[in-house]
Structures are given as C-alpha cells and as structure tokens.
Amino acid sequence: MAYRIEKTEDLIEVHLSGQVDEWEILAILGKLRDMAPRKETSDVWLLGEECVVRWDAFSMIVDGIKRLLPPDLIPSRSAIVVASPFQMAQAEMYRQEAKSLPYETGAFMTREEAVRWLRSKDVQSSAPASEVSPGLAT
C-alpha cells in the first residue's frame, strides 16, 4: 500500500493506492489524530482504482477508530471517494459499520462532491442521497 496525507486549510486528504489492510488504515488514523487531536478537521479518503480493503476488516477498523477518538471530539465528517462500483459497495458496507461512530461518513464518486458535502454547514445531516449510493468514512 502507498499513501499520502495532505493538509489544506480546512481538510485533511488521504490518498490511498494498492492493497490495504486494517492495520495500515489504523496507523494512518493515528497520524490523522496527531494532526487533528479532537478530529476538528474533516477528512477525505481518495481511493485509487486498484485500492482494495478486505470485506472482513471494516468492524476492526471501526473498533480501532473508537479507541483512537478523544472524549472531547469536535463533530466533523469523513468522506470516501471511490473509483469504481466495487469500491462504492465496499464504502457502503463500511458506512453501515461506521453508524456507531460519533461523526458522519459519506461515500462519493468524485472529490468535488465529497468536498462540497464536507464543507456544507449542516454537520448533523446525512449526505444527500444523490451524492451517496443507495443502500464508507465518517
């Protein structure tokens, strides 16, 4: 797996490529926590076309996130930008697991849609159905 983290004024972008396992994702989440200790900054995960996560990893990732979250969490959002219908199916499975997290996760086909949703004011609302497939990030 290869990844790159970029911090902008109001977002953190995580670019992923290759085969990804849950331990690598948790290591990246630890780095994000160091960058935004109270998760005060929304993040967007951009998956390369060849990026694949094992189906059985999602519950472990959510459990790891719960352990990493601070008690004084500031509500924010996580967006997942996918490159294929297969990745969208994975993102939707992750979103189902992530419903127990104290922040929202949206899944999108383009970075522009994801950033628009992340920057929208109503942090407590769900991502619009037009931007999230029916049926991943937080």
Reference 11, options 34, 36, 31; nearest CA is 36
Q: Is residue 129 part of a domain?
A: no
Range of 27's domain? 2-119
Residue-wise pLDDT for 45-67, tens only, equals: 999 999 989 889 999 999 999 99
* Averaged pLDDT, 69-77: 85
Q: Is residue 127 part of a domain?
A: no
Q: Is residue 138 part of a domain?
A: no
CATH number for the domain that contains residue 110: 3.30.750.24
Q: Is residue 28 part of a domain?
A: yes
Q: Is residue 25 part of a domain?
A: yes
Q: Is residue 124 part of a domain?
A: no
Report residue 122's pLDDT band, with 50, 70 and 90 as the boundaries: low
Please tell me the number of Cα atoms within 13 Å of 70 on its side-chain side.
Answer: 14
Q: Is residue 134 part of a domain?
A: no
Q: Per the structure, how many domains does the chain have?
A: 1
Say yes or no to pLDDT of 26 above 70: yes
Report residue 6's pLDDT band, with 50, 70 and 90 as the boundaries: very high
Positive or negative torsion for Cα 57, 58, 59, 61: positive
Q: What does the pLDDT read at residue 138?
A: 39
Q: Are 24 and 54 in contact (CB under 8 A)?
A: no
Question: Which of 42-46, 57-61, 74-78, 124-128 is predicted least confidently?
Answer: 124-128
Question: Which of 81-95, 98-112, 120-134 is predicted least confidently?
Answer: 120-134
The neighbour count for residue 83, using CB atoms within 10 Å, is 16
Got the DSSP string for 93-115? HHHHHGGGSSSEEEEESSHHHHH
Q: Is residue 110 part of a domain?
A: yes
